[in-house]
Structure 1
Amino acid sequence: MQAIIQRALGGPEVLELVEVDPPEPGPGEVLVRVRAAGVNPADWKARSGRVEGLGEPPFRVGYEFSGEAEGRDVYGLWLTRWGAYAEYVAAPREALAPKPPSLDHVHAAALPTAALTAWQGLADAGLSAGQRVLIHAAAGGVGHLAVQIAKHLGAYVIGTARAENHDFLRALGADELIDYTAVDFTEHVAEVDVVYDLVGGSYGSRSLRVLAEGGILLDAQGNDATADPRYRRFYVRASGEDLAQIGDLVEAGRLRVEVAEVLPLSAAAKAHALSESGHVRGKLVLTP
């Protein structure tokens, strides 16, 4: 089968399209024929050596996918055994869920990581109806789904995004939008119950200034506010059960995923370069 591997850490150019044997499923795993694989920031962070625990190259890339297993269409996220940039991947049954019938494989593959990060993160923060939430990078892969899920939970949603993405986010339900390239968000918003930081760095300490009493700063990227008691680090978890609930939202018309571009597996390096630019609206998807 064809798969993307890397033999060294480095830039997008280290990604290679090669012929390898299909993976052998382990206990509790099934073999998935991959029809599409999502591209995420964690992919290029791993490629460049910024993710711990992967060992030394060579290794394979990608961990979210949509495809076919045991005679049904499935989609899933598998964080332990990477390799979704390929024609086949082995994944545990409990990490898979039925593909939402209304979605093709491309759009289904764009969902697992971003939707689970939004769904689980907002749940962990205890976001509830009537609360105010500020979502940084609201037009990004996770952000545009977090906007919709926060609205589904009944929150008042504020987002930071470039002006050209404001109409897009309003259509998804955002109540208030701030162009971070033109103004300082700390001067335009206050008394926020939850800040979901999808940017990182100095956005942490700056976000603390807009929190209401008892508010929570949820960090999915790694920011500079770790010493504050209101800070909470979030890491996504693989869960077929959660993906099934997300699929229900999709089928009910409450959640849609934006696909920015679809590229062939052979263009994985280009996809990584686009993702690293930080200016992709929605998700990038590779197709074997």
Structure 2
Amino acid sequence: KMVKTNCTIISNFIFLGFTHYPKVEIFIFVLCLLIYLITLLGNIILISVSILDSHLHTPMYFFLSNLSFLDIWYTSSALTPMVANFVAGENSISFSGCAAQMYFSLAMGSTECVLLSMMAYDRYVAICNPLRYPIIMNRRVCAHIAAGSWVTGCLTALVETMSVLQLSLCGNNTINHFTCEILAVLKLVYVDTSMAQLIMLVISILLLPMPMLLICISYAFILSNILRISSVHGRSKAFSTCAAHLTVVVLFYGTALSMYLKPSAVESQEIDKFMALVYAGLTPMLNPIIYSLRNKEVKMAVKK
């Protein structure tokens, strides 16, 4: 039986952010602002080019545009409130603002997990079944894959957000983070959180190791296929289309896994904050750069 206590309902949260590091704080602010602007610019260019250039009306660029759109929202949900707070000289966010921020960053992150695995499947079909590629990855299939990724991401995020926000958050409203990150908010709950943690673990396993397994299987087939290509040019072309996707995958899943599937005994809130910066800022910024620098088609389209 739960004992009812005098509980002050929390109407807003205070972020500790990087206040422990007053010397680094201004540097982090400038860095985040820069990262945010580069992310916006890079992803908007990639989306525009994919829409405007008819040569880029292929499944790969359709998924890339989705990824870019996602990254814009993802970085905006994590970094905009932080930058705004820094300018305003305050560190608070309303309860509903926190809920929205938590939901958006979870939804975008989860969608990206699914989308990256679907992009690996797309590369697999392109390299292992090149002749049937236009039939297998037709417009309808691509639209379904993209919609499926978004729906999965948005629904799982809803389940996670609800499971945490319906718990009694009491008294202490100081989040040791710069954003309403779900694990940081869970630390404020004074009742038993095992159910919420179980839900999160199940969803994390569905969205991290499972898509990663799909990606590994796709790339095992791709690799064995590439090694059978006799021409050096053909081989290097196949490698370069995959290298970009693999770089993004390693960056994204590496940081995500280290945050969500590490043992909870590891008390490393400070490391978590810096990991979240990489996860929310660096990866979305590097995605368009990685994809376009390695890509003649994108370079040509941008020049046009």
Q: Same fold (TM over 0.5)?
A: no
Normalising by structure 1, we get a TM-score of 0.24
Is the radius of gyration larger for structure 1 or structure 2?
A: 2
More helix by share: 2
More strand by share: 1
Normalising by structure 2, we get a TM-score of 0.23
